[in-house]
Amino acid sequence: MKHNKHTYIKLFTSTFYLSAFTFGGGFVIIPLMKKIFVDDLHWIEEDEMLNLAAIAQSSPGAVAVNAAILLGYRIAGVFGALMTILGTILPPFITISIISIFYSAFRDNAIISAVLKGMQAGVAAVIADVVLNLGGSVIKDKDIISSLVMVGAFVATFFLKVNVMFIILICGLIGAAKVLININKSNKGGDSK
């Protein structure tokens, strides 16, 4: 892809919008990034987006910032990463700067809290949509281990509140074990499938 001015501007504006309207932080921004950079712009593949998400989650710091750095770097190099960092950091920076001055008025404003409440429902809908797409494609792969990992990881994080780092570690190990066993099998002349 050509790294022209248009790419940089698009990287900045897309991450700026996403960051400005993503409440709750953490993983919420990943499905939104996927929606824009994979589904709308077709700049990277779905698999690659999930790989970047895994790296973002395993690194220290805010997941949203990490994912933005990785995405920007992957699409348009170091300068692209600078664009996405700025795009991700500026909205909360501006919002908080303003709010810290008007905090008590903001907290007690009923209309603002109604708008925020409405947006929560919208964000939930967007995430549900992405989960249906991604989950569907994992199941369609007909790889039983992948499907089990998905269900297991969900139960572990949502119901059992297992530390996310631990889940990442275990699932990575399962994946590594899977390919190593496959290699072993094919070396012995068995069915490598």
Partner 1 sequence: MILLELFWSFMQIGMFSIGGGMAAIPLIQNQVVNINQWLTLTEFTDLITIAEMTPGPIAINSATFVGIRIAGLPGAIVATLGCVLPSAVIVFTLAWIYNKYKELTVIKGILSGLRPAIVALIASAGLTIFILAIWGEGGFSSDPQSINITSALLFTMGIFILRKWRLNPIVVMLGSGLIGGLVYSLI
* CB-nearer residue toward partner 1: 4 or 119: 119
Distances (CA, A) of 82 to 27, 98, 143: 21, 24, 38
Cα of first residue to Cα of last residue in the chain, in angstroms, is 35
CB 57 within 8 A of CB 168: yes
What single-letter amino acid sits at 44?
A: I
The neighbour count for residue 6, using CB atoms within 10 Å, is: 9
Binders of partner 1 among residues 98 to 127 (CB under 8 A) are 99-100, 103, 106-107, 110-127
Using CA atoms, how far apart are residues 89 and 82, in angstroms rounded to an integer? 11
153 binds partner 1 (CB under 8 A): yes
Binders of partner 1 among residues 156 to 175 (CB under 8 A) are 156-158, 163-165, 167-168, 171-175
* Angle of CA points 64, 65, 66, to nearest 5°: 95
Identify the residue among 4, 95, 184, 192 touching partner 1 (CB under 8 A). Answer: 95
* CB-nearer residue toward partner 1: 7 or 18: 18
Binding track over 37-76 against partner 1, x by CB under 8 A: --xx------x--xx-xxxxxxxxxxxxxx--xx--xx--
Binders of partner 1 among residues 20 to 39 (CB under 8 A) are 20-28, 30-32, 35-36, 39
Binders of partner 1 among residues 132 to 151 (CB under 8 A) are 132, 134-135, 138, 146-147, 149-151
